[in-house]
Chain A
Amino acid sequence: MIKVQEQDFEIGAELASLTDGNTAVGGLGCFVGLVRDMANDEQISSMTLEHYPGMTEKQLATIEAEARDRWPLQDVLIIHRYGRLEPGDRIVLVATTSAHREAALESCHFLIDWLKTKAPFWKLEESDTGENWVAARDSDDDAADRWSGTATPKI
């Protein structure tokens, strides 16, 4: 399930909704991304996320389908926020459920790595010295590329 929203989400409730009533789930993997207070040695007062409505949902659905193709997953949940956020605020939640831990943990890692470089979001940081668009990092490309080699065998 894909949710692109301005409002916050409650981690516990979201994770519980993935597993409640489904006793075939043996493991749940999750990642929560938050706004950090420091960037490039500067104190950040806010981060505003801009996205491409329409394409964002399509890209996230494609990424979800790719994860489901690679691992035997019961469920996938991606919640990505946009708008103005402050340090400590939650930005993104990725959660996956499967019969076994390997699929849940690996697919979760895969999803957040792919989100970094393939989801159409852009981040504007505000600090004492002004506004600054967050640049894409080569290390994020490398992290995403790590998954593009041979497909992980289905467990």
Chain B
Amino acid sequence: MQLLYFGWVRTKIGSGRETLDPPAEVTDVRGLVEWLKLRGDGYQEALQDLETIRVAVNQEMADLDAAVSPGDEVALFPPMTGG
């Protein structure tokens, strides 16, 4: 699974992109985020408040209940500030 991080999610995690193989029990974004938080303090800090996290699955906006599978591209980021 391709994981992408932007904004302060990226700076807190310390990486903008990584390829990971979450365990089979990770089937949705919420499960993925909980699994990521076990990977270290940076992840824990970046993902502690889900209210502030936005998600895209395969470059489409998604919510925490959206399904994820091994070949997906999942991006986690703060609320967008375009314009």
Interface residues, chain A, with chain B CB atoms under 8 Å away = 33, 50-52, 54-55, 58, 80, 91-92, 112, 115-124, 133-136, 140
A133 touches B83 (CB 8 A): no
Known: A55-B75, A136-B78. 4 other contacts (CB 8 A): A80-B83, A92-B83, A120-B82, A133-B7
Distance, CA A120 to CA B17, complexed state (A): 16
B56 touches A122 (CB 8 A): no
CB distance from A31 to the nearest CB of B (A): 9
Distance, CA A122 to CA B12, complexed state (A): 14
Which of A50, A58, A91 lies in contact with B6, CB distance below 8 A? A50
In the complex, per-residue mask of B4-21: 1 if CB is within 8 Å of any chain A CB, else 0: 101110110000000000
For the complex of A and B, list the 3 residue pairs with the smallest distance between their C-beta atoms, beginning with the closest.
A119-B82, A136-B79, A122-B7
| Chain B residues with CB below 8 A from A112, complex form | 83
How big is the B interface, by class?
10 to 19
A117 touches B82 (CB 8 A): yes
Interface residues, chain B, with chain A CB atoms under 8 Å away = 4, 6-8, 10-11, 56, 59-60, 75, 77-83
B75 touches A52 (CB 8 A): yes
Chain A CB within 10 A, most for which of B56, B75, B79, B82: B82
CB distance from B45 to the nearest CB of A (A): 14
A52 touches B82 (CB 8 A): no
CB distance from A47 to the nearest CB of B (A): 10
A55 touches B83 (CB 8 A): no
Closest A residue to B7 by beta carbon equals A122
Contacts A122-B6, A122-B7, A133-B7; A52 near B81 (Cβ below 8 A): no
Distance, CA A55 to CA B77, complexed state (A): 13
27 CB < 8 A contacts A-B: A51-B6, A52-B4, A52-B56, A58-B60, A92-B82, A115-B82, A115-B83, A116-B80, A116-B81, A116-B82, A116-B83, A117-B80, A117-B82, A118-B80, A120-B77, A121-B80, A121-B81, A122-B7, A122-B78, A124-B7, A133-B11, A134-B81, A135-B78, A136-B79, A136-B80, A136-B81, A140-B81
Contacts A122-B6, A122-B7; A52 near B83 (Cβ below 8 A): no
